[in-house]
């Protein structure tokens, strides 16, 4: 069971995974060794799945975001697994979600420029049959981030 200190540690680390343990400890009113043990326990319990560096998309050269909405006529487990494999090694596809409603999947695609979407599209449709693909260009990011609300953690 998590307490308020655990939640605060999770919140601090997800906003800056490189924060020194001593600084985390100070912000949650623990000794560095006690804080380090809590962090280790949170990692072992899989609350913390890993630590990553968040790269600047402009500097990396992929400032453009396109969302591709996909409809398919296939819904078998085999087709879904083939679809999963088809998108897994296309680096520009950074997220994929199965949906309810009019579309079956949404892909978040990051690109150097809009014109590059056709390259990704062609790679995808060579690998798997799709009924319909509709692409939408993101004009502006209003909110972005990986930070999760920690209040619900049990």
Q: What topology is assigned to 4-44 in CATH?
A: Arc Repressor Mutant, subunit A (1.10.10)
Residue ranges covered by each domain of the chain: 4-44, 57-137
Q: Which two tokens stand for residue 81?
A: 């697994």
The hierarchical CATH code for the domain 57-137 is: 3.30.70.920
Centroid of chain to Cα 17: 16
Contacts of 154 by beta carbon, 8 Å cutoff, 6+ apart:
1, 2
What is the DSSP annotation of 56-122?
-HHHHT--EEEEEEEE-S---HHHHHHHHHHHHT-TTEEEEEE-SSS-SEEEEEEESSGGGHHHHHH
pLDDT, tens only, 111-122: 999 999 999 999
pLDDT tens-digit map of 26-57 = 999 999 999 999 999 999 999 999 998 889 99
For the purposes of burial, counting CB atoms within 10 Å of the CB of 50, is it exposed (0-12), middle (13-18) or buried (19 or more)?
exposed
pTM over 0.85: yes
């Amino acid at each position: 069971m998590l307490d308020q200190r655990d939640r605060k540690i999770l919140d601090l680390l997800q906003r800056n995974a490189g924060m020194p343990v001593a600084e985390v400890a100070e912000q949650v009113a623990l000794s560095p060794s006690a804080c380090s043990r809590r962090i280790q326990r949170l990692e072992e319990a899989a609350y913390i799945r890993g630590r990553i560096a968040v790269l600047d998309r402009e500097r990396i050269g992929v400032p453009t975001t396109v969302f591709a909405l996909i409809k398919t006529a296939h819904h078998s487990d085999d087709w879904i697994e083939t679809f999963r494999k088809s998108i897994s090694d296309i680096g520009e596809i950074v997220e994929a979600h199965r949906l309810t409603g009019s579309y079956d999947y949404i892909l978040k695609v990051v690109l150097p420029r809009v014109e590059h979407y056709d390259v990704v599209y062609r790679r995808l449709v060579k690998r798997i049959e799709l009924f319909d693909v509709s692409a939408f260009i993101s004009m502006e990011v209003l909110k972005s981030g990986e930070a999760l609300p920690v209040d619900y953690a049990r």
